Structure 1
Amino acid sequence: MEITEAEIDEYESLPPTSSMTTHMAAGALAGIMEHCVMYPVDSVKTRMMCLRPNPNANYRNLMDAYYTIVRYEGLRTTCRGVSAVIGGAGPAHAMYFACYEKLKWTIGGTRQGNPLANAVAGCAATLLHDAVMNPADVIKQRMQIFDSPYKSCTDCARTILRTEGIKAFYRSYTTQLSMNIPFQSIHFVSYELMQDVMNQKREYNPMSHLLSGGVAGAVAAAVTTPLDVVKTLLNTQEKCAVECMNRREVSGLFAGFATVYKCCGFGGYFRGLQARVIYQIPSTALSWSVYEFFKYFITKQRAEEDDGFTVVSAAAAKID
């Protein structure tokens, strides 16, 4: 069925009374699906970003890491910690996409993409997203590391809270923001620029959403890899890295950068670069594709319901 100009406008710019719930529902579904589908790759990425892994877990590349983990630790190991992500991804991505969609139109005020508005909206959305997702990220990365001592996500959360206090769940928050604010700004600007080229009318176009999301994710991931390495260190508190600095813990962005450099030199900032880019390409492509689909599906359903109500109302008026 051909989509009219009115339907395109409704898809891209929803009424104020309904847009927030639509974006939140679509965002939550997109976030959960993205993290679940790509979780095994995320587990490999975390392992490869560890500064001084166990000799039995010293991986050469992404495929070697995945093969070694599955062979010696079992396939289920690649999914350890996934329940923490599922619990955090839904509400985090709901707020993330709702905030982004609201602000990009409030600031930009135009139908076509405005790079500055997209970047500012992405920054604001990241603040909300990371406030919810950071504790979940700490738990899942503690579960993902080699020879993790925790039996479950609940056991991990309780142990961290008991031994390190609630601050441990937000030890990497400033680093996470330092990484995700430029990541999301680059990500959103790249996505909207790609849409300007591939989908100028902003129609529902699955292929354009898929390709734009993949390119945006790859560019943003490559630029922000050093910050992800530091964030992983702050979340996992690798014992050998902490001892290398003669500290009880590594806390803060600058301490994290200093620890990485002392342990691995300049090259340490790019540990897991390949895995991070390979993870982000399908991850962001899937996220945008699912998000745009559900946004289109939900708004189309509402449009059909409104059309049906209008027809019934018109028929009732004729009878009167």
Structure 2
Amino acid sequence: MASEDVVGKTKGETAVSTIVNLAEEAKLAREEIKGPSHAILSICKSLIAGGVAGGVSRTAVAPLERLKILLQVQNPHNIKYNGTVQGLKYIWRTEGFRGLFKGNGTNCARIIPNSAVKFFSYEEAARGILWLYRQQPGNVFLSPPEDASLTPLLRLGAGACAGIIAMSATYPMDMVRGRLTVQTERSPYQYRGMFHALSTVLREEGFRALYKGWLPSVIGVVPYVGLNFAVYESLKDWLIKSKPFGLVQDNELSVPTRLACGAAAGTVGQTVAYPLDVIRRRMQMVGWNNASSVITGDGRAKAPLEYTGMIDAFRKTVRYEGYGALYKGLVPNSVKVVPSIAIAFVTYETVKDVLGVEMRISE
């Protein structure tokens, strides 16, 4: 009888063990099935967070964005906009409230996918660069520890990669957005909207016209986006590690502190890259009769100035208007960039927290 009990007990234990093993195998199978879908969902949430961040931040500063472009391309022999306050008042007086946000719909249609791609590309580039960094062979200077984090220089590289990818993917929309933005009530309306502008430029000027100014844009985006991410992440990292002035609580930065980090990042990036932004915008206006940058060799305003390339655009701008022309619109742009970049970074991280995305920038 005791022998039967032992046999029964053994069989019971075997059955339980089999059930447990089957349950574990089923769990692993479910996780394998869940893995790809979970990763896709996480990617989608990250893209959504980046898109929301771009739309919110750009709409908040839309009037300053439009004034910046108007200052960049206006004819110096027919000055309408003398500064930030005067320019905003002039737009309000001549075009009303809607004039302050003209081109913002097109701008958001461009910046939302641009921002989504940019933030996601940065995270992927940062992860890839960090992995390569940890795999480096050689001496102690080339072999970082397994738990090494991104250095400011590596963050700059990841940000540069993200900026180039995002800029290239959405550049045609940026080009027509610039043209839509400089249209005023007093100029003949050549474009009725973003899609009409895209089709018109494609039909009348060809596919290459959609990428006018692309080279200075790409060159400019390397220091601009690269420095934005590098300064923002490095400042955050420094604050968390050093904990100065009691700004850090439980290794978390407050919203005002993160806004300040974003503002510093935006200021550094846009100051370095701004001349290239001016040249890009002027090259985008080439071939459009309603462009307002109309300087000719004798100094008279006749027809839109033609550029053969980025270097030629730099040379003619400096020759006819001086080096100061490379910084036209810098003041409203500075006022715009400080809150815009700050809002974008904080919105991105906040939306990701709300959506429950585990992945954070540079982690």
Structure 1 spans left out of the alignment, 5+ residues: 1-14, 303-320
TM-score by length of 2: 0.72
Whether the 8 Å contact between 1:119 and 1:189 is mirrored in structure 2 is: yes
Is residue 266 of structure 2 the alignment partner of residue 266 of structure 1?
no
After superposing the two structures, state which structure 1 stretch, 134-143 or 211-220, moved more. 134-143
Whether the 8 Å contact between 1:23 and 1:94 is mirrored in structure 2 is: yes
- Please say which structure displays the higher CA radius of gyration: 2
User: In the alignment, which of 81, 85, 89 is matched to residue 59 of structure 1?
Assistant: 81
Whether the 8 Å contact between 1:183 and 1:220 is mirrored in structure 2 is: yes
For each residue in 1:112-141, what CA deviation from the matched residue of structure 2 results, as whole angstroms up to 9, or x when unmatched?
A: 442122111111111221123211111111
For each residue in 1:235-284, what CA deviation from the matched residue of structure 2 results, as whole angstroms up to 9, or x when unmatched?
A: 12346546449987324211210121122111111111111111110000
For each residue in 1:261-317, what CA deviation from the matched residue of structure 2 results, as whole angstroms up to 9, or x when unmatched?
A: 122111111111111111110000110010010112222699xxxxxxxxxxxxxxx
Aligned to 1:178: 219
Whether the 8 Å contact between 1:23 and 1:101 is mirrored in structure 2 is: no
Aligned to 2:67: 44
Aligned to 2:155: 118
Whether the 8 Å contact between 2:74 and 2:292 is mirrored in structure 1 is: no
Aligned to 1:256: 313
More helix by share: 1
The change in CA–CA distance for 1:183 and 1:240 in structure 2 (over 3 A counts) is closer
User: In the alignment, which of 257, 263, 288 is matched to residue 208 of structure 1?
Assistant: 257
> Deviation of residue 101 (structure 1)?
0.9
Alignment of 1:134-283 (within 5 A): 134-147=171-184, 148=187, 149-153=189-193, 154-200=195-241, 203=252, 205-237=254-286, 238=291, 240-241=293-294, 243-244=296-297, 249-283=306-340
Whether the 8 Å contact between 1:222 and 1:276 is mirrored in structure 2 is: no
Structure 2 spans left out of the alignment, 5+ residues: 1-37, 132-146, 242-249
For each residue in 1:59-92, what CA deviation from the matched residue of structure 2 results, as whole angstroms up to 9, or x when unmatched?
A: 2211110101111122212222222222222222
TM-score by length of 1: 0.81
For the residues of structure 2 that align with 1:292 and 1:239, how far apart are their CA atoms?
Answer: 39
The change in CA–CA distance for 1:244 and 1:96 in structure 2 (over 3 A counts) is same
Helix, strand or coil: the match of 1:52? coil
Please identify runs of 4+ aligned residues in structure 1 that moved more than 6 A.
245-248
Whether the 8 Å contact between 1:198 and 1:208 is mirrored in structure 2 is: no
> Deviation of residue 199 (structure 1)?
3.3
Whether the 8 Å contact between 1:49 and 1:271 is mirrored in structure 2 is: yes
RMSD after superposition: 2.6
For the residues of structure 2 that align with 1:247 and 1:235, how far apart are their CA atoms?
Answer: 11
For the residues of structure 2 that align with 1:18 and 1:112, how far apart are their CA atoms?
Answer: 26
Q: How many residues are treated as equivalent by the alignment?
A: 287
For each residue in 1:1-45, what CA deviation from the matched residue of structure 2 results, as whole angstroms up to 9, or x when unmatched?
A: xxxxxxxxxxxxxx9665433321211111121222221110011
